[in-house]
Amino acid sequence: MTVHYENIGRAAVVTISRPERRNAIDAATASELADAWKRFDSDDQAAVGVLTGAGGNFCSGADLRDFDLEDGPGGYLGMSRYHVAKPTIAAVAGFCVAGGLELALWCDLRVAGEDAVFGCFERRFGVPLVDGGTQRLPRLVGLSRAFDMILTGRPVSGAEAHRIGLADRLVPPDEELAAALDLAETIAAHPQPTVLSDRAAVYDGLGVDPRSGLDAERRRGLVALGVAVEGASRFAAGEGRGGAGT
């Protein structure tokens, strides 16, 4: 097995474990990644999924030595076109490049160590971005910055990734997984129906006109209205006054 699945608190940690290849993805690993995220989607113990890599690197993309990947419902890397219903976080150390960057972009949030290196390194080998990078990167960092990364293939440090919005949290080396787990527990502590409905509304609104996005927000919000009523009652009783608990 080159992908490990572990429940830690309210998180499911999915670890790519091919450290001798900087966690490059071959066909078997892609298949295991797809299985891991399907397991997460149906795992009632897990509120948040955390994707990380073993041995000090996140993922260096497709394994160009084996080069045995094939397109499928989940993309070449197994998971990049697969949608999960719960929040996801990438815990990034070391190299997060080529398809590895595309896997990190698939996640909702990214926690990066100061030693992290992001980049579209496939550029130098003529390999196209086919696992979501051309669509997700511009939405995170803007069109110009995305083109700078995609067209040049240059390395982007953890500090720069944080500055441009590619990384949401920047932490000292070797602390990215712990920080991602802390973030997961923060998310998991909130009432989950509204966490899920608000997350879904954000994705519903991407690429549509504002009226359609507002309709999606209203539709998703109505589903969780009962939770809001219960939460309002708790606030009226004194919970959370003055920002307590945030």
**Active site members:** 62, 99, 102, 122
Distance in angstroms (rounded) separating the CA atoms of residues 49 and 108: 10
Are the beta carbons of 128 and 122 closer than 8 angstroms? yes
Q: Which residues lie across from 51 on neighbouring strands?
A: 14, 90
In the block, residue with structure tokens 């708790």: 234
Distance in angstroms (rounded) separating the CA atoms of residues 117 and 94: 6
- Which residues does 237 contact at the CB level (< 8 Å), separation at least 6? none
3-state secondary structure of 156: strand
What's the angle, vertex CA 136, arms to CA 130 and CA 142, rounded to 5? 125
Reading the block at residue 147, the tokens are: 């083109």
Q: Quick one: how far is CA 68 from the chain centroid?
A: 24
In the block, residue with structure tokens 């803007």: 142
Distance in angstroms (rounded) separating the CA atoms of residues 14 and 194: 24
3-state secondary structure of 83: coil
Reading the block at residue 128, the tokens are: 């196209």
Distance in angstroms (rounded) separating the CA atoms of residues 59 and 61: 6
